[in-house]
């Protein structure tokens, strides 16, 4: 996919502008059920969106930004305003992928009406096409309410990080028969309520496979199974920006190592006065 650059003279930064292309739509994503695997990554900033967009089908502005960007202990403190600011940046930085914004904890669970107000505000603020909400059977009525009123919803079942206080941690779910059945029921209820796709997170593999086969919308796995209809990861995890890598993450790069090496080299050059060199300094006009 080709990318051209225009210079923004007010900031003197090169802003990549993709060749004109049509953004993927919710119905187009839904149609991919059982087809070529869907590629989804999280993005929180305009520059990451620009870099990820040509390779992805969907960009998720995940509330994981609470930990990744803000250093918060969980996603619980994330606010609607934080999600809206990052959602708008990711929409500005992308041309191709469908952009989905996470609804933060406390902004949608109380009632379908609360969810509609929060989600409609989010779509207006960001220009994103859809929202994601965590929760199973208890959220099905809300998913239906929003879907029937023109707000596409991506569901999220299995390990639902906003429920960390109730779950007691981030361990994989569905190891007991009872838990496995409940997760499958949750996923089916959300899909039947009209979700256009469903994130299946942190479950033992047979649950992910059964759920993928038994719903009519794409199941997007994270810590789930390669047999899901697509995969999502936190981009910073797969790029190796953190020392600790969860079991379900494959590190495709060692960004932490590369950044450390680059900054060490910069610090050395500054201290030895090798930087700035003649290429980086301005000569007077003759
Ligand atoms: O917030 C997030 O990043 C997510 C994905 C990891 C699915 O919900």
Q: Which of 157, 218, 215, 201 is nearest to 34 (CA)?
A: 218
Take atom 3 of ligand 1 and give the residue whose Cα is closest: 62
Q: Which of 223, 240, 235, 209 is nearest to 40 (CA)?
A: 235
Say if CB 161 and CB 75 are below 8 A apart: yes
Strands (E), 43-146: 58-61, 98-102, 130-132
CATH superfamily of 2-238: Phosphoenolpyruvate-binding domains (3.20.20.60)
Virtual torsion, Cα 62, 156, 131, 196, nearest 10 deg: 130
Say if CB 26 and CB 57 are below 8 A apart: no
Q: What is the pLDDT of residues 242-278, one digit of tens each?
A: 988 999 999 999 999 999 999 999 999 999 999 999 9
* Ligand 1 contacts CB of residue 94 (under 6 A): no
* Ligand 1 contacts CB of residue 64 (under 6 A): yes
pLDDT of residue 2: 37
Say which DSSP state 228 is in: S
Q: Which of 35, 38, 40, 32 is nearest to 62 (CA)?
A: 40
Take atom 1 of ligand 1 and give the residue whose Cα is closest: 62
Using CA atoms, how far residue 152 sits from 6, 98, 256, 269, in Å, is: 33, 11, 36, 51
- 65/138 Cα distance (integer angstroms): 25
Tell which atom from ligand 1 comes closest to the C-alpha of 220.
Answer: 7
pLDDT of residue 4: 46
Domain positions in the chain = 2-238
Query: What secondary structure does DSSP assign to 29-72, as a single string?
Result: HHHTTTSSPEEEEE--SHHHHHHHGGG-SEEEE-TTHHHHTT--
CB atoms within 10 A of CB 272: 8
Quote the ligand 1 centre to 199 CA distance (angstroms): 9
* Ligand 1 contacts CB of residue 67 (under 6 A): no
* Ligand 1 contacts CB of residue 230 (under 6 A): no
- 157/191 Cα distance (integer angstroms): 11
Say if CB 41 and CB 61 are below 8 A apart: no
Q: Map tokens 């190891």 to a residue.
A: 175
Is 201 among the residues known to form the active site?
A: yes
- 164/75 Cα distance (integer angstroms): 9
pLDDT of residue 16: 56
Using CA atoms, how far residue 173 sits from 49, 100, 281, in Å, is: 31, 24, 57
- 135/151 Cα distance (integer angstroms): 17
Which three-class secondary structure state does DSSP give residue 4?
strand
Q: Map tokens 């090169």 to a residue.
A: 14
- 233/202 Cα distance (integer angstroms): 12
Q: Is the peptide bond before 276 cis (omega within 30 degrees of 0)?
A: yes
* Ligand 1 contacts CB of residue 42 (under 6 A): yes
- 1/184 Cα distance (integer angstroms): 38
Instruction: Give the chain's residues under pLDDT 50.
Output: 1-4
Task: Please name the residues in contact with 195: beta carbons below 8 A apart, sequence gap of 6 or more.
Answer: 143, 147, 153, 154, 155, 217
Whole-number CA gyration radius for the chain: 21
């Amino acid at each position: 996919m080709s990318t051209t650059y225009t210079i923004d003279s007010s900031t003197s930064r090169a802003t990549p502008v993709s060749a004109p292309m049509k953004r993927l739509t919710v119905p187009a994503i839904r149609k991919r059920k059982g087809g070529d695997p869907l590629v989804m990554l999280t993005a929180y900033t305009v520059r990451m969106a620009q870099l990820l967009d040509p390779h992805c089908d969907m960009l998720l502005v995940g509330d994981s930004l609470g930990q990744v960007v803000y250093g918060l202990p969980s996603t619980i403190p994330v606010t609607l305003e934080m999600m809206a600011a990052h959602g708008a940046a990711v929409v500005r930085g992308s041309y191709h992928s469908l952009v989905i914004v996470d609804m933060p904890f406390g902004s949608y669970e109380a009632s379908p009406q609360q969810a509609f107000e929060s989600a409609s505000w989010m779509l207006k603020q960001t220009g994103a096409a859809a929202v994601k909400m965590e929760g199973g059977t208890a959220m099905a009525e809300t998913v239906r309410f929003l879907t029937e009123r023109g707000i596409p919803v991506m569901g999220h079942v299995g390990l639902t990080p906003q429920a960390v206080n109730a779950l007691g941690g981030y361990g994989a779910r569905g190891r007991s028969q009872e838990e496995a059945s409940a997760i499958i029921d949750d996923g089916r209820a959300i899909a039947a309520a009209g979700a256009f796709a469903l994130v299946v997170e942190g479950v033992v593999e047979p649950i992910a496979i059964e759920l993928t086969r038994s719903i009519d919308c794409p199941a997007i796995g994270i810590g789930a199974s390669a047999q899901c209809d697509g995969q999502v990861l936190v981009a910073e995890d797969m790029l190796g920006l953190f020392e600790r890598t969860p079991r379900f993450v494959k590190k495709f790069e060692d960004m932490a190592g590369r950044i450390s090496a680059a900054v060490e080299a910069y610090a050395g050059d500054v201290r030895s006065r090798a930087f700035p060199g003649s290429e980086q300094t301005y000569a007077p006009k003759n």
